[in-house]
Chain A
Amino acid sequence: MIWETVRLALRSVRRNALRSFLTLLGIVIGVAAVIAMLTIGAGTTEKVKADISKLGSNLLVVRAGHAAGRGGPDQTIRPLQDKDLAALRAHLEGARAISPAAQKQVRVIYGTENITAGVTGTDSAFLDARDWTLASGRAFSDSEVRSGAGVCLIGETVRQQFFGAGDPDGEIIRVNRSSCKVIGLLAPKGYTGFGQDQDNVVLMPLAAFQRRIAGNRDIDNIYVAADDRTPTSELLPRVQDILRDARRVPQDKDDDFDIRDMTQIADTMTSATSTMTGMLSAVAAVSLLVGGIGIMNIMLVSVTERTREIGIRLAIGAHEKHILVQFLVEATVLSLLGGIIGILIGLSLAGIASLTLAIPFAPSPAVILLAVGFSALIGMVFGFFPALRGARLDPIDALRHE
């Protein structure tokens, strides 16, 4: 019986192919927009998460200065010092790696080539803290770190600029007029979500950086990577306590440093993305409503056109519910068809977007199922009133209808 009705509905949709298609357009556009939005949104979220994890996972970043109003006119920033780092190393529990870093954009020269790269002074724990790996060569030895030797690790972009595909190991490059021996090559990390090239870097021992490039003993950041058992949210107050103690911050004063939890930042960005996606989807949902009204309209036309047919069916013994189901199924088939076309178009759009925006293509089966269910629901809801109108017709009047 129901299969019979579905067949009948398909036949009726096919019979008025152009009209059916135009009616479907609202649903198609609505579903396509929602599917595209949600799929692109999911891709963006994945991309953001991947970017954040490139910075290093479970990472706390400590900077000097207040969290808010950093560098305001009424306060001088007390930079992080070696003793702060030493205090963390001595007292902090639950950290996998603790590493200092001082950075500067500096001109780097090899032969006749020169580029501007992000030069970072740090130690060997940096690679672990920031999830960097070496493609070749070796990390700094302890004695190199202690003495501030003229050695460095370079990123993929720097290698390509200076050495092409060649092996940089043992070559001497000039960083801010002092020479530096390349001892290792970092594995590529690619760009951040903000378009920053993470491979255009040179790492050198902190002491060497401070002496030759910065000209002071300051540390810009201390990276603290949590171990597997310690969530960053637990680690953060410990770091705070130790640093307040080491820096002798009075009880009644705010911290004169700022600790950022990268996991938290990742969560914030993910939720911002999903809010955005949700809002855009809501706008697209309005189109579904319009599509639903279109279906209601065309079903009313269809019921009127087929008044005589309804009369015949009623006369030969159709129950009210038979007529109701017939038109309800027709409306549902119509909107379901629109939904399926919409899903295909939406996924295609998301596919194109993922290619052009370089984000992952992340179609969600749940979202697709939901779209199918929702478009069927639209057909049922908006098809109900016209169907009921057909079912309630008086057979005598309906048979007389021209």
Chain B
Amino acid sequence: MAPLITFDRVWKTYGQGEARVHALAGVDLAIRQGEFVAIMGPSGSGKSTSMNIIGCLDTPTAGTYRFKGVDAGRLDRNRRALLRNLYIGFVFQGYNLLARTTAAENVELPLIYRGVAAAERRELAMRALAEVGLTGREHHTPAELSGGQQQRVAIARAIVSRPTLLVADEPTGNLDTARTHEIMDLITRLNREFGLTIVMVTHEADVAAYAQRTIRFLDGHVASDAMNAEMAQ
């Protein structure tokens, strides 16, 4: 079976002339469906750029990015928006929930853009919130929730439309150790129970250890790409 994600000599270049910077310099990469991959690397190494391309938020300057066999790098922004809406969920470091909007309404958001009817939306949102262990908090606004709870709402929002891929950008960056492990356990469970493919950017080794595979970026290249030892069994 073809991989879910393939990078074929992907370049991403910013700026012009002297100020030209290659964020990605001919990266080749493949991620299969159901994998849990951690992307690591120092800032400026190209890990965020590759995550944006994987999440169909950005397009390569040169080379081909395929998502589900589709040449996503050649799609216009509205087609990529549709791709994100149908197949990709996002979790960010800063949670990125809509303020003064209840947890349930936040979770419903992707379904609104999918044109799902209100009653069904509400039902799906409740189910997603239950899956992340937030039953009873549906009508709280982000300001009334702790950081860990807010991130759970964000995860519920990411999985409510049953995506193929979850892109997580430093999902535990704002959380303490106990909360970090709770969130990572949740993400791991989503990977195992639903077969959700997960691509997670992190700079913490113990967070990356939850993944099955770690890709390290350095200066726009893949420096190392290996299965995690303890998970390999």
Contacts and interface: CB of A to CB of B under 8 A. Distances in A.
Interface of A: 1, 4, 15, 308-309, 311-322, 395-396, 399
A318 B97 CA distance: 15
Given A316-B90, A318-B113, A321-B78, 17 more contacts: A4-B112, A4-B118, A311-B96, A312-B96, A312-B97, A313-B109, A313-B113, A315-B55, A315-B84, A315-B96, A316-B85, A317-B81, A317-B110, A319-B113, A395-B57, A396-B52, A396-B58
Contact of B96 (A4, A322, A399): A399
B171 to A, nearest CB: 14
Of A316, A319, A395, chain B has the most CB atoms within 10 Å of the CB of A316
Contact of A319 (B52, B82, B110): B82
A320 B82 CA distance: 11
**Is chain A's interface secondary structure helix, strand, loop, or mixed overall?**
helix
A317 B82 contact: yes
Contact of B81 (A309, A311, A314): A314
Contacts of A15: 100
A309 B52 CA distance: 18
Contacts of A316: 84-85, 89-90, 109-110, 113, 157
Nearest to B114: A317
Question: Which of B52, B58, B77 has the largest number of chain A CB atoms within 10 A?
Answer: B77
B200 to A, nearest CB: 16
B78 to A, nearest CB: 5
A308 B96 contact: yes
Interface in B106-128: 109-110, 112-115, 118
A75 B115 CA distance: 87
Interface hub of A309, A314, A317 (most chain B Cβ within 10 A):
A317
Given A1-B112, A395-B57, A315 B82 contact: no
B98 interface: yes
B98 A312 contact: yes
| Interface of B: prevailing SS | helix
Given A1-B115, A313-B109, A396-B58, A318 B96 contact: no
A308 B97 CA distance: 10
B134 interface: no
A317 B96 contact: no
A387 to B, nearest CB: 16
Nearest to A322: B113
Contacts of B118: 4
A322 B84 CA distance: 15
Contacts of B110: 316-317
Contacts of A317: 81-82, 84-86, 88, 110, 113-114
A46 B112 CA distance: 53
A318 B115 CA distance: 11
What 8 pairs between A and B have smallest CB-CB spacing? A317-B85, A317-B84, A316-B110, A312-B96, A317-B113, A318-B113, A395-B57, A315-B90
Contacts of A320: 77-78, 81
B217 interface: no
Contacts of A311: 96
Q: Which of A311, A313, A395 has the most CB of B within 10 A?
A: A395
27 contacts: A4-B112, A4-B118, A308-B96, A309-B98, A312-B96, A313-B109, A313-B113, A315-B55, A315-B57, A315-B96, A316-B84, A316-B89, A316-B109, A317-B82, A317-B85, A317-B88, A317-B113, A318-B81, A318-B85, A318-B113, A319-B78, A320-B77, A320-B81, A321-B78, A322-B113, A395-B57, A396-B52
A317 B98 CA distance: 15
A207 B88 CA distance: 104
A322 B78 CA distance: 10
Nearest to A312: B96
A399 B52 CA distance: 11
Contacts of B98: 309, 312
B47 to A, nearest CB: 14
A11 to B, nearest CB: 8
A17 B131 CA distance: 37
Among B55, B96, B114, B157, the most chain A Cβ lie within 10 Å of the Cβ of: B96
A312 to B, nearest CB: 5
A322 B81 CA distance: 11
A311 B55 CA distance: 14
A224 to B, nearest CB: 73
B92 interface: yes
B57 A396 contact: yes
Contacts of B58: 396
Contacts of A319: 78, 81-82, 113
Interface in B9-33: none
Contacts of A312: 96-98, 109
B155 to A, nearest CB: 13
Contacts of B90: 315-316
Contacts of A321: 78
A354 to B, nearest CB: 45
A313 B82 CA distance: 12
Interface string B174-202: 00000000000000000000000000000
A317 B110 CA distance: 7
Interface in B39-81: 52, 55, 57-58, 77-78, 81
